Chains A and B, each alone.
Chain A
């Protein structure tokens, strides 16, 4: 291998990025406990919405220009530049760089629920209360509102889409082996053993060894409270408590027995496996059905949806995996227009409906979840089952109190290298949870947090 020209260029680009990333350095910018800013009057809002303004909006939702056009039609003075700065992590990396550099950050940005504390800890999101965001609370499913609000009632973002978790299963495989859709995790384990014994080429499910999101969703369902912030610098980390250990013992056990698979997800291998019937279920989120329908076309008509199995018979609980919000960056020069844009995008009936029916985002608004034209869709891929209705029901069963750490990237990376690795290697998962706890604690303390366990 050689030091090629592209490498030189990449190094030079990285160096400038590095330079840009650091020039804004300096003291810590923590979210201090400040009283809410005074509310902005309706007159000010009207004035701002009539003033010619340009907003920059970072998002990875495909074709969102259609929804943006609705906003621009209603407020012709305001022009929104839609920028795709990458999906998920790449976008956050760019955002952090722009924030540090002190220029180049967007006005409005798409942020996943789990990343909100990572950005509020560096004091980069605008509290939307002065712009009337509190009044939107009742439009949204309760748990989503809990995800976007801060300790002192700040509203950090407006929910855009969600991912309450359920179970997609292959009816044909279940029927062939006489398996009923499991309603408890005990039944699920029994079904996993039975199925794999009957057909060694098939696994009841795949618990991806690289998918922290699914793990956190399952932990959420089990009642885990891994990260609680007592204040901006006091964090309670408990990813190896009783609930987590129960989860670790259960899944680690099934993995060791070899009756479920642990392939990395969203890879060629995994797509092919779904198409070829290697996995009889996919424990996924509400965005899963549409995703699967477009990525496993060969299996059309064979899938059905059901709630997740429960830890105790008769219970009805779920967790969330994924989903995102629109947040306003604090450095915006047009906070009113930016806040109103975030609000419009995610509450206007026409805009939200478009997101649910054209981009197939699973809605967080109660109105749309109850809307028959959404809930009663009968996709052929699921044999005509009203899949949206199943997940709309699940959305109500997600716990409100689940919280995220203010350094999510590190937490996820550490999970991959401890818990995820234990799943892939069939080693001791409960012990890996202890390592994970240890790594998070060490990191949090090195960043100046006080950690309670």
Chain B
């Protein structure tokens, strides 16, 4: 009898605890999303007003070469940048965890600090370093008698952006992986030691498998981050306006459509499609990695 009396009360308490989150979640995410979805079904013109156009905006987006170009570019960026960044993060985490570094706290902080720098500031700073004539990199090349690399030119821009993003986020991923490493039970190491495993063997056979869930999470975050690339290219646009156009990344394109072209409806459709692409890629990544484990 007691159980029937306490069950509803416990339920009410649960709802109460989750309410603040749900309110913010609905107000800040669900409602805007639904509204954006609603908007994407209309077309508003400076002359002629608003008309219902059904899925026209989506049809237009699917055949929009500028959008497609942007999606392919961020996919290329993802393939180029993410493996490098995760590998660096992993190496840093393993090195710190090995306990063989002097000043490890200091080093950990040093690697993490770029993540504390706002990406806007980071992009401005790197933009200065990349400067084709008076930037330090170009000056160094000049001193050595080498031609200055055109880091802001069309060929190298994607690599230059990848460098900034790697610099910003390698430390962040290192912290995630390092935390996962600290959570590995000591018995496993003891067992490995008893079996005669050295440091490398322990890293390969004990630490890496233990890191798999953390790596997967870092990878999924990176998928989302890559496809949403915005701050860095937007700031570099000022330095290299002829290389980075308004459709350089899909996010930048959606922003330009909304705020430059005054086409909120089409921007909403583009944003929705981008969201779908991100969900699809994230899911594929997750599926591929978890299947391999089993």
- Residues of A whose CB lies within 8 Å of any CB of B are 1-4, 6-7, 12, 15-16, 18-19, 21-22, 25-28, 30, 93, 96, 121-122, 209-210, 232-233, 264, 267-269, 272-273, 276, 278, 406-407, 409-410, 413, 416-417, 420-421, 423-425, 443, 446-449
A425 CB contacts on chain B under 8 angstroms: 242
Within 8 Å by CB of A413, from B35, B85, B256, lies B256
Instruction: Answer whether A93 and B261 are a contact pair too, CB < 8 Å, given A2-B221, A28-B50.
Output: no
B172:A2 contact, CB within 8 angstroms = yes
CA distance A174 to B139 in the complex (A): 27
B238:A210 contact, CB within 8 angstroms = yes
A28:B48 contact, CB within 8 angstroms = yes
Within 8 Å by CB of A448, from B31, B45, B264, lies B45
Instruction: Answer whether A417 and B133 are a contact pair too, CB < 8 Å, given A1-B81, A1-B82.
Output: no
Instruction: Answer whether A121 and B46 are a contact pair too, CB < 8 Å, given A1-B81, A209-B242, A413-B246.
Output: yes
A232 CB contacts on chain B under 8 angstroms: 47
CA distance A3 to B47 in the complex (A): 39
A406 CB contacts on chain B under 8 angstroms: 46
CA distance A57 to B256 in the complex (A): 27
B28:A3 contact, CB within 8 angstroms = no
Return the CB mask of B257-289 against A: 1 if under 8 Å, else 0. Answer: 011111010001000000000000000000000
Residue of A nearest to B168 (CB): A1
CA distance A27 to B246 in the complex (A): 28
Instruction: Answer whether A18 and B36 are a contact pair too, CB < 8 Å, given A446-B45, A448-B47.
Output: yes
B228:A19 contact, CB within 8 angstroms = no
27 contacts between A and B (CB under 8 A): A1-B82, A1-B168, A2-B169, A2-B221, A18-B264, A19-B32, A19-B35, A25-B44, A28-B47, A93-B259, A210-B242, A267-B238, A268-B127, A268-B131, A268-B134, A269-B132, A272-B133, A413-B256, A413-B260, A416-B241, A416-B242, A421-B242, A424-B241, A446-B45, A447-B45, A447-B46, A448-B46
CB distance from A2 to the nearest CB of B (A): 4
Residue of B nearest to A28 (CB): B49
Q: Which of B81, B225, B262 has the most CB of A within 10 A?
A: B262
B234 interface residue per 8 A CB criterion = no
Known: A19-B32, A268-B127, A268-B134. 5 other contacts (CB 8 A): A2-B169, A2-B225, A15-B32, A210-B242, A409-B261
Instruction: Answer whether A424 and B238 are a contact pair too, CB < 8 Å, given A2-B221, A30-B46, A122-B46.
Output: no
Within 8 Å by CB of A22, from B39, B172, B241, lies B39
B218 interface residue per 8 A CB criterion = yes
CA distance A302 to B46 in the complex (A): 49
Instruction: Answer whether A22 and B28 are a contact pair too, CB < 8 Å, given A2-B172, A7-B225, A413-B256.
Output: no
Return the CB mask of B95-137 against A: 1 if under 8 Å, else 0. Answer: 0000000000000000000000011000000011001111100
A15:B29 contact, CB within 8 angstroms = yes
Instruction: Answer whether A264 and B240 are a contact pair too, CB < 8 Å, given A2-B221, A2-B222.
Output: yes
CA distance A57 to B73 in the complex (A): 42
B249 CB contacts on chain A under 8 angstroms: none
CA distance A70 to B173 in the complex (A): 56
B218 CB contacts on chain A under 8 angstroms: 2
CB distance from B25 to the nearest CB of A (A): 10
B203 interface residue per 8 A CB criterion = no
B165 interface residue per 8 A CB criterion = yes
B160 interface residue per 8 A CB criterion = no
B224 interface residue per 8 A CB criterion = yes
A122 CB contacts on chain B under 8 angstroms: 46
B239 interface residue per 8 A CB criterion = yes
Q: Which of A209, A232, A424 has the most CB of B within 10 A?
A: A424
Within 8 Å by CB of A268, from B49, B128, B259, lies B128
Within 8 Å by CB of B228, from A7, A410, A420, lies A7
B131 CB contacts on chain A under 8 angstroms: 268-269, 272
CB distance from B203 to the nearest CB of A (A): 24
Residue of A nearest to B225 (CB): A1
CA distance A137 to B224 in the complex (A): 56
Residue of B nearest to A97 (CB): B259
A447 CB contacts on chain B under 8 angstroms: 45-47, 262
B208 interface residue per 8 A CB criterion = no
A273 CB contacts on chain B under 8 angstroms: 133-134
B50:A27 contact, CB within 8 angstroms = yes
CA distance A448 to B48 in the complex (A): 6
Within 8 Å by CB of A3, from B35, B134, B224, B262, lies B224
Residue of A nearest to B170 (CB): A1
Instruction: Answer whether A407 and B169 are a contact pair too, CB < 8 Å, given A1-B226, A267-B238.
Output: no
CA distance A355 to B218 in the complex (A): 54
B222 CB contacts on chain A under 8 angstroms: 1-2
Residues 177-225 of B at the A interface (beta carbon under 8 Å): 218, 221-222, 224-225
CA distance A2 to B176 in the complex (A): 11
A28 CB contacts on chain B under 8 angstroms: 44-50
- A-B pairs, 4 with minimum CB distance: A448-B47, A424-B242, A1-B225, A15-B32
CA distance A6 to B229 in the complex (A): 13
B118:A6 contact, CB within 8 angstroms = yes
Residue of A nearest to B133 (CB): A269
B94 CB contacts on chain A under 8 angstroms: none
B75 interface residue per 8 A CB criterion = no
A96 CB contacts on chain B under 8 angstroms: 262
CB distance from B233 to the nearest CB of A (A): 12
A268 CB contacts on chain B under 8 angstroms: 127-128, 131, 134-135
Instruction: Answer whether A449 and B241 are a contact pair too, CB < 8 Å, given A1-B81, A1-B165, A22-B35.
Output: no
Within 8 Å by CB of A15, from B33, B173, B256, lies B33
B225 CB contacts on chain A under 8 angstroms: 1-4, 7
Instruction: Answer whether A210 and B28 are a contact pair too, CB < 8 Å, given A2-B173, A18-B36, A269-B133.
Output: no
CA distance A448 to B263 in the complex (A): 13
CB distance from A258 to the nearest CB of B (A): 15
